[in-house]
Amino acid sequence: MNVFEFWEDKINFFIVTELCTGGELFDRIVESGCFNEQMACSTMKALISAIVYCHKYNIVHRDLKPENLLYESRDANSNLKVIDWGSSRKYNPNIPMTKSKGTPYYIAPEVLKGTYNEKCDIWSLGVIMYIMLCGYPPFNGKSKKDILKAVSKGSYTYSHEDWDNISNEAKDLINELLNKDYKKRITGEEALNHPWIKKFK
């Protein structure tokens, strides 16, 4: 998101950014119920590309979720912007991060354990992709405690009713993004070269 101006007083920083009138990705998922694969793929390409760019400069977001993704306009092909960088930081690739940051549905299991790297963003992208294709999160619960317990366990399913018409390539990418072992989890660059991402132009 472009920043046009900023200033500060004794208490606050004020930042003037571009105006995005298209609403959140969350709203579009709610409106449609779920995305078809072509629409989901287009969205994932944009998100992965943004995170690859950030990771290239050793910046991790740490709170990726549909509510933090805004469309420039209501146009169907509108650009998507990543917002809310309050949890982001510059990281050293050789030093694990330890401070717990993120939102229960989207937080990576290794973050809960207190030792993680930039691939926590990749996990969040996997959760977002799963939600786009079926309309609900892979890790759920009746309370925050239950949700975090499900995340820590890292197990999810593809119900026949909702996933029978979803391609195996899509499921394979989700599996790569949601690999519980973050050391073996796919990188952003590898995700951009996945067959599912290349399947749709």
Domain holding 160: CATH number?
1.10.510.10
Owner of token pair 């029978």: 164
For residue 117 the two structure tokens come to 């790297």
The verdict on residue 19 lying in a domain is no
Q: Give the helix ranges, DSSP H, for 1-73.
A: 25-32, 37-56
Residue 84 lies in a domain: yes
Q: Is residue 62 part of a domain?
A: yes
What pLDDT tens digit does each residue of the chain (201 aa) get?
A: 677 888 888 888 887 877 878 889 999 999 999 999 999 999 999 999 999 999 999 999 999 999 999 998 888 888 899 999 889 999 999 999 999 999 999 999 999 999 999 999 999 999 999 999 999 999 999 999 999 999 999 999 999 889 999 999 999 999 999 999 999 999 999 999 999 999 886
Question: Vertex 75, ends 82 and 173: CA angle to 5°?
Answer: 50
Q: Which residues contact 107 (CB under 8 A, 6 or more apart)?
A: 100, 101, 120, 123, 124, 148, 151
DSSP for 115-180? Answer: -B-TTHHHHHHHHHHHHHHHSS-SS--SSHHHHHHHHHHT-----HHHHTTS-HHHHHHHHHHT-S
In a domain, 17, yes or no: no
Phi, psi of 4 (to 5 degrees): -95, -30
Report yes or no on 40 lying in a domain. Answer: yes
Instruction: Indicate which residues carry an active-site annotation.
Output: 63
Residue 188 resides in a domain: yes
Question: pTM above 0.85?
Answer: yes
Report the alpha-carbon distance of residue 125 to residue 56 in Å, rounded: 17
Q: E strand or H helix at 5, and its extent? A: strand 3-8
- Residues spanned by the domain of 191: 24-199
191: enclosing H helix or E strand = helix 188-192
Number of compact structural domains in the chain: 1
Please report whether residue 9 resides in a domain.
no
Residue 114 domain flag: yes
Asked if 75 and 61 touch (Cβ cutoff 8 Å), the reply is: no
Two structure tokens written together for 162? 């909702």
